[in-house]
Structure 1
Amino acid sequence: MTPRRPAHAPTPPLADSPEPAGAGQAAGTDLRPAASLSLRSGGQSWGTERRMALLAAIGTEGSISAAARQVGLSYKAAWDAVDMMNSLSGELLVERVTGGKRGGGAHLTGRARALVAWYQAAQAEHRRFMETLSRFGPDGTRHLDLLHSMALQTSARNRYEGVIGAIESGRINDRIRLDLGGAACLTATLTHASTERLGLTEGRRALAFLKAQAVRIRPAGTGATHTPGAPASDPEGANRWTGRIVHLANDGALTEIGLEISPHVRITGLADPDIPGGGLAPGTMAMACFQAADVLIGTAD
């Protein structure tokens, strides 16, 4: 079991779950840690509250489509989640039934019913544990936020956390604007199916990952420049940030450069090989360019 950070998009509760602590209070007034529970088996994290809520809803509704509506998922996202859970479990959790008077449906196997019951018991115990943590002081949520961020490891040098400020939906791809705090923001493109699968909505917290190799650093003034507060990408999908060089390392073949965009936002990339390197020195201003398609978006639940 892993203590989870507060969810910024409400996750539908399980059928017999009590109202979460602090429900109904104004946003930001409840400083107690949220009691959300994820499941991990070995190195694989696969059970989240929303997935378990989907299983529970299938058990009561007898239909994947009806369960999807109950937990706030699209029909396709629910089917994808069921396929994933069936695959991870090594045995069927949800059996689909075709035909019949009702036109078919779905029901939980004995394994799934046992899993849902176990999860509900574990969730109740987890909620009591989080309530105990809240007695240690009002900063529990901030501490869990920091611990959660410190625990996340990825090969991407650039990792950002923010709030989804806008979603421009397309037939195939969506454009996501992630607000990083202050004036900083970035734009990412991902498939519409991924937007639905991740449950991305405006106002929800999300993570962005960007490999340093995908970032090109150029002297300031090379081409169009944008501060992080300006539109985060041009029509061709290129994010352009300007900042001060705070790190520069050269191994003889590549030059790695770190820019400070704001007090809380930094980016690491490589000197653009197509642009002369003159002017790229510590303390000087430079521009970081990266494509929206190179930004990976993730969520913590």
Structure 2
Amino acid sequence: MTVPPKIHVGNFSTSLSLDFDGGKVSARRLELLVAISRENSINGAAKAVGMTYKGAWEAVEGMNNLAGVSLVTAWQGGRGGGRAELTEVGQRLVDELGRIAALQAQFFAALDKEVTLGNSFQLLKRIGINTSARNAFRGMVESVQKGAVNAEVVLRLASGEALYAMVTQESVRSLDLVPGKAVYALINASWIILTLMDEKIKTSARNRLCGVVNHIEQGSVNTEVLLDLGNGVTLAAIITNESHKVLGLAVGGRACALIKASHIIIGVD
């Protein structure tokens, strides 16, 4: 009998764990219990689940302490080597874990058939993305204009704004950038130039995104300005305190962000 540490449904997963009066036993420890019932050895079980011998012993001690009753009886050393076996309570727990894992699998199999829940799982996946870029947007490729070396990719954000990115032809091929494909646009906040809404200047920046200033946080050297682009889309820009002073930015006012197409990084799932 095996107890899978994780049950997967598309891009959503959850770990099986147990609580004993507030003390949590992780999926790894539960897997160790199952391995001990199979191997009858702490050392063998540790190797089976990818733990160190010392870590496995500590896990066994922890489980016995948290449970309040002995789950594993173990003997170290000896001519035949160490030996371990589950107590009656421990074996009963492992048997129940098998039933729990089966019920969990049935539960997620049912969820997998629900289309609307599947969409929610995709949303959870999106908000879990980790990146060092201050700005990460979800967009749809609208068009791809190929050149000799580079290509201009036009993305449409949830705010309705168009975002122009310049990438290499190799990136277009490797990322499979085609109209209708969902992608991520990553923009470093320090790459953004802010201007006033009514300031009429011509620049080489391909992107000009305008919105309402909804937050300003000034530090010792730089100031972070958040622009509300609409439909829940917010753009963060980092400018110097001197620039903040010269522009006279204030919450509620309007401003525009200038971004070079080459400063936009495109990512895909």
TM-score range for the pair, normalised by the shorter chain length: 0.5 to 0.7
Name stretches of at least 5 consecutive residues in structure 2 with no aligned partner.
1-7, 13-105
- The answer to whether 1:181 aligns with 2:158 is yes
Structure 1-normalised TM-score? 0.51
Deviates more, 1:283-292 or 1:214-223: 214-223
In the TM superposition, what whole-angstrom CA distance separates every residue of 1:80-102 from its partner, at most 9, and x where no partner exists?
A: xxxxxxxxxxxxxxxxxxxxxxx
- Per the TM alignment, residue 157 of structure 1 is displaced from its structure 2 partner at its CA by 1.0
- Per the TM alignment, residue 146 of structure 1 is displaced from its structure 2 partner at its CA by 1.6
- Per the TM alignment, residue 163 of structure 1 is displaced from its structure 2 partner at its CA by 0.9
- The match for 1:191 among 168, 174, 177 is 168
Q: 1:148 is paired with a residue of what secondary structure? A: helix
**Residue 210 of structure 2: aligned partner:** 242
**Kept in 2: contact 1:271–1:277 (CA 8 A):** no
Q: 1:278 to 1:162 in 2, by over 3 A?
A: closer
- Per the TM alignment, residue 131 of structure 1 is displaced from its structure 2 partner at its CA by 5.2
Bigger fraction of residues in helix: 2
Name stretches of at least 5 consecutive residues in structure 1 with no aligned partner.
6-127, 226-233
Mapped to 1, the partners of 2:245 and 2:206 lie a distance apart of 20
Mapped to 2, the partners of 1:237 and 1:249 lie a distance apart of 25
Taking every aligned residue pair, what percent have the same amino acid on both sides? 24
**Kept in 2: contact 1:177–1:188 (CA 8 A):** yes
**Kept in 2: contact 1:219–1:277 (CA 8 A):** no
**Kept in 2: contact 1:237–1:293 (CA 8 A):** no
In the TM superposition, what whole-angstrom CA distance separates every residue of 1:245-299 from its partner, at most 9, and x where no partner exists?
A: 0111111311110000112221000236668623301110111111110100011
Larger-gyration structure (1/2): 2
**Equivalent residue letter for 1:294:** H
Q: 2:247 is paired with a residue of what secondary structure? A: coil
Corresponding pairs, count? 168
**Residue 16 of structure 2: aligned partner:** none
Structure 2-normalised TM-score? 0.56
- The answer to whether 1:145 aligns with 2:122 is yes
- Per the TM alignment, residue 2 of structure 1 is displaced from its structure 2 partner at its CA by 7.3
**Residue 96 of structure 1: aligned partner:** none
**Equivalent residue letter for 1:214:** W
Deviates more, 1:154-163 or 1:179-188: 179-188
Q: 1:178 to 1:245 in 2, by over 3 A?
A: same
Mapped to 2, the partners of 1:291 and 1:299 lie a distance apart of 20
Mapped to 1, the partners of 2:264 and 2:107 lie a distance apart of 36
Q: 1:252 to 1:196 in 2, by over 3 A?
A: same
- The match for 2:178 among 198, 201, 208 is 201
**Kept in 1: contact 2:192–2:257 (CA 8 A):** yes
1:1-301 matches, within 5 Å, as: 3-4=10-11, 132-135=110-113, 137-224=114-201, 236-271=204-239, 277-300=246-269
Please, what is the CA RMSD of the aligned residues? 2.6
**Equivalent residue letter for 1:277:** V
**Residue 51 of structure 1: aligned partner:** none
Bigger fraction of residues in strand: 2
- Per the TM alignment, residue 182 of structure 1 is displaced from its structure 2 partner at its CA by 5.0
